[in-house]
Amino acid sequence: MPSRSSKRRARLDRGSGVAALLSVAGGLGALAVVNRAIARRAGEPFSALSGESRRYPWTEGDVFYKVKGQGEPLVLAHGISAGASAFEWRKNVDALAEHFRVYAPDLLGFGLSSRPRLDYTAQTFVQLLIDFVREAAGGAEHPVHVVASSLSAAYAIMAAFQRPKLFERLVLVEPAGVYALSRGPTLAQRAFWQVMRAPIIGESVYNAVASRAAMHSYLSRHVYLRPEAVTADLVDYYYIPAHQPGARYVPLRFVTGHLNIDIAEAFAQLSQPTLIVWGKQAEMAPAAEAQAFQRLNPGTQVEIINGSKMLPQDEQPERFQQRVIDWLRQPAAART
């Protein structure tokens, strides 16, 4: 029979276990309260773009977009990051709409679009671009021009490769590296994703790395050449949509490698005339990376814009949009 001392130790162990569980539960409860407070105080997202507001009912959720202008259809696809949206094109829509019918969507999971809890993959956004171009922008009737930035530029390459008849010409703004994102998630990244998808813990970690201070630091150090351009209002425009329900899923899938895609073969065989635009002072993805794209597809043209880092369309909008307009309006023979 167990001795009196062993029974006592067993009671103490059970008591310690209960106390530990209560402590964990209390900690999670406190985190949940903080998460709810952050969500309540985030504010309501809105679109800073001019034009008519519309919603495209896609299979996985509604996609909000703005449309403006007349002429050949032109779709603007924003990059993938916490708080991203069509906001990055706010300085370009009006000028482009003088020559084209411009469509500027908030991609699924961003901005004013639906933010479903999905296991997002690269093909999710490739298919979204294909369907949006075909069904919302009239690609089934007339091929569409696409201007896409960062990781969305990689998705635009794959979409144009898979459905070439839908896409007329591509403008890629600092497209994600040809080789850097060619591998899928590692075992460690998969494990981290499982932790991050947990409602309380995952949201808490995300809130910490997507705080206003963290966003200000990232934008002023890596995205914009002039730190003074990163105003409180600009940070808010990234922060507010980043803290809506479901907004964390796509950025977390990105940082855990689940949105990676190998585009080297597709880009080498791409048939559409393509212009790559790069900020001269970009650091995270240096302008020299454009040479890798040209080696794969020698017909690719490159425009380096001085005075900008990751968003030349925002920091040097006049030069950016004039170069895009001039290139898209050239006769086909002159663009190749």
Tens digits of pLDDT across the chain (336 residues): 555 555 454 443 444 443 332 333 344 466 555 556 555 666 788 899 999 999 999 999 999 999 999 999 999 999 999 999 999 999 999 999 999 999 999 999 999 999 999 999 999 999 999 999 999 999 888 999 999 999 999 999 999 999 999 999 999 999 987 777 778 888 888 888 888 777 777 788 888 888 999 999 999 999 999 999 999 999 999 999 999 999 999 999 998 999 999 999 999 999 999 999 999 999 988 898 999 999 999 999 999 999 999 999 999 999 999 999 999 998 765 444
Fold type of domain 52-183+255-335? Rossmann fold (3.40.50)
Contact 71, 101 (CB under 8 A): yes
Encoding tokens for residue 287?
């302008």
- Cα(318)–Cα(127) distance, integer angstroms: 31
- pLDDT value, residue 36: 63
- Cα(237)–Cα(273) distance, integer angstroms: 34
- Cα(58)–Cα(214) distance, integer angstroms: 32
- pLDDT value, residue 335: 45
Run of H or E including 202: helix 199-209
Contact 66, 96 (CB under 8 A): no
Backbone CA torsion sign across 171, 177, 179, 180: negative
Query: Which residues face 302 on adjacent strands?
Result: 276
The Cβ of residue 286 has, within 10 Å, a number of other Cβ atoms equal to: 13
Contact 145, 172 (CB under 8 A): no
Contacts of the segment 122-128: beta carbons below 8 A, 24+ positions apart:
122/154, 122/155, 122/158, 122/259, 122/260, 122/261, 123/261, 124/60, 125/80, 125/152, 125/155, 125/259, 126/155, 126/158, 126/159, 126/162, 126/261, 127/159, 128/58, 128/60, 128/63
Count of helices and strands (H, E) across the chain? 14, 8
Phi–psi pair at 184, nearest 5 degrees: -75, 180
DSSP three-state, residue 154:
helix
